[in-house]
Structures are given as C-alpha cells and as structure tokens.
A and B are shown apart, each in its own frame.
Chain A
Amino acid sequence: MSTRQSLLPLFHRVVLRCVKNLVPVSERDEFLRSWHAELWHMNDCARRRRLSAIRLHLDLPLGVASDALWLRTHNLRRNLAGTPTLSIVSLLSLSLLSFAFAVLSYGGWHALGLYFTRQAEHCLVAVPIILFVSSAIASFSHVEVNSIRHTLRWINHLAFASLKTSLALLLMFLLSVCLSRPLYIPLPRAADLLQLLFFVLFALLAVRWSFHDQEQRCKQCLCSLATPARVGRPSHNLLEWTGTEQTCRQGHGRLSVPEIETSWHQYSRWIDQGSGLDPIASA
C-alpha cells in the first residue's frame, strides 16, 4: 500500500492518512485501494487536461471524507440495528434533548428545578398505577412462562426491560413538561393539570410500547427479532397452527406467535436454536 500511495502527491497522501481512521478496519484496505486508483486518475486527468487544481484540492478531501463517513455510519447501522444498546442510547439521547429543551423553555435550571420537584411528586404517584394498568392489559401473558430458562438471561432481560421502561417514562415526563409550558405563566394550575394528564397518557403508551418491544426481542441476546413470516393458513386452523414466526438475526432462536389461541398452541413460543445449530444465520 505504501508504494502505491507514494505515487500520489503529498496532499492526497496526507488526506488519505487522516481519513482512513474513520473507515472500519475490515474495509480499510479496500477503501485505500479504491481511493488510490481514483486519486491517481484525477491527478493524471488534471495533468493532461489542465483541470483546475483548486477544484481538485477542495473537492477531493470532501469526497474522501464523505465516503469514509458513509462507510462508518453504514457499519454502525448494520452492527447496532435492533440491539439493546441502540434502544437505550436512543432513549437516553432523546431524554437529554428534551431536558435541554425544557431548561431553555423554562428560562434556567432554577425555575425548572422548582417545577420539576412539584410535578415529579404527582407523576411518581401515577407511575405505579400506570404500570399496573399496562401490565393488566398487556398481551405478555401470552408468552410462554418458561421461555427464559437461564437465571443470568432472565436477569439481563429484566434489567434491560426496567431500564428501557424507566427511560421511556422519564422521556414522557420531560415531554409532558415541555408541552404544558405555554400555559405555565397565564394559567399555572391548568398547566399543572395538563402536564399530569399528558404524562399519564404518554406514559401508558410508552409502557405499552416497552412491553411490546420486549416481546419482540431475542430471549438470549435481546436484539430485535427480524424477518417475520406467516406460517399456515387461517382456513386450516383446525388442522395446523397459523401465525407468525420471527427469527433472531444471530440465529439464537425464533418466536412463534399464534394468530388464534388454540388449546394446542395457546401461547407465543420461544424456540431456542442452541449454539451452532444455525451457522448460516449467525454468519
């Protein structure tokens, strides 16, 4: 690679050296090879056709950098899509953004702090009721009880669900605070009531989403399940089961969700594939 790069002008070599660290290691060689060829052709063309050196020197670093950034973001998206980390980071980022917006709209820490302590008390009283109502009406009673057999997995599962739900509730609290802000000065009591109403409504939705999201995750790695496929026909319900199957991208298992509850397939079933059973899926 170094002999290839030495054919390029110093400026282009410096640009490539700076930008290559943005590219994921697995794709770095290919990236450098591509850009070495492209830059060589550009320089050659510039020499032969007297292309503007300014255009070449201004445009190219931009192209190299945006190509490297694209590779990095594509790699991140591919690796993080559906992971519990992405879920938590997204919720945390949204909460921080909402918090910053709330601080700005209330005109500083002090005013927001006073409002927060008063409203947080009311909302904390509402949270157990919201959790109780959401649990009562959620469909997770349909998931087979012993689908998570290992203790460690169960702890991970519970920790992730608790963290996700807490962050979702925090986000909804901040959102309700921001939404009730316009009424805060003219009608403070109405603003307090509206904030509480908004919080209860949003929190119900958030907890419901959290439960649903938890069901749709792999019971081993907690990544979102993918490739939903319909199995069977509704008209053959008495002969075979009908429903949807979703699989884990890492090949850990699949979730069978019956469309109609029957005596022989009443619950959603998580079927563990075991390690190494599906090497194609895990590749």
Chain B
Amino acid sequence: MSPPRLSHSAALILKAISLGYCFGFDVMEITGLPSGTVYPALRRLERDELVESRWESEEDAFSSQRPARRYYQLTREGKAAALAATERYPLLARLLPEKHS
C-alpha cells in the first residue's frame, strides 16, 4: 500500500518526530507551528496509525521532578510516510535539525 499523502504541516510534524522530537511542546517549538495545529494533527496521525503514543513512567518523571510526558513515536507506516513526505517536500530535511539528547 502506498503511504498516505500528507499536508505540509502533518509532514513537518512527522519529520520532527522522526528526528527525535517526541512530545507535543517539543514538536511545537521546533516546527514553529501553533499549538492549534500541532495537537489536533498529532491526534489525526495517531488515528491514522502513523504515530503511536506512550506515557513516560511516573518514576522517570518523578526523578526529574516534572509531570510524566506523553511520548510519540513513528510506526512502520509512519516511517514510510515520513520518507515519502521528505521526497515530496525536500526542504523538510533542511528545516529541522536532528535532536541532540
């Protein structure tokens, strides 16, 4: 099955997640997109099974003295879609730097 065609914003968000920006605010900050775009887009990507989310363990969050984050990661279909999106929008790769954790 061919990967779904994504809008520019969705492709940007998918690319950000593939580069290691894995929670909502992180994605919002690096892409510069408004929160009103990022959060519904993340929900849509999750509904379309391009990304999946998991909650950080409470222990890890507690040790860093912050609330647990909801982390997003690409699924296999999401990786294929991110690749296709990079081919469709070549500037995406240059827009976002890789995350140094």
Report A's interface with B, CB cutoff 8 A. Answer: 4, 7, 33-34, 36-38, 40-42, 44-45, 59-60, 62-67, 69-71, 74
Contact = CB atoms under 8 A, between A and B. Distances in A.
Classify chain B's interface size.
20 to 34
Interface stretch (B11-19, B34-42, B84-92): B34-42
Contact of A34 (B34, B36, B70): B70
Contact of B39 (A36, A44, A63, A74): A63
Nearest to B39: A67
B66 interface: yes
Nearest to B42: A67
Given A67-B43, A74-B47, A41 B35 contact: no
Given A42-B25, A74-B43, A37 B67 contact: yes
Q: Which 5 A-B pairs have the closest CB atoms?
A: A63-B35, A70-B40, A67-B39, A66-B36, A62-B36
A37 B38 contact: no
Given A7-B67, A34-B70, A74-B43, A59 B36 contact: yes
A45 B40 contact: no
6 contacts: A7-B67, A37-B68, A44-B66, A62-B35, A63-B35, A70-B39
Contacts of A45: 25, 29
A67 B28 CA distance: 14
A66 B68 contact: no
A190 B36 CA distance: 52
A273 to B, nearest CB: 28
Given A34-B70, A66-B35, 13 more contacts: A7-B67, A33-B68, A36-B67, A37-B68, A38-B39, A41-B25, A41-B66, A42-B25, A45-B29, A59-B35, A66-B40, A70-B40, A71-B43
Contacts of B34: 59, 62-63
Contact of A38 (B24, B37, B43): B24
Contacts of A34: 24, 70
Contacts of B79: none
A163 B24 CA distance: 46
Contacts of A62: 34-36
Nearest to A41: B25
Nearest to B34: A59
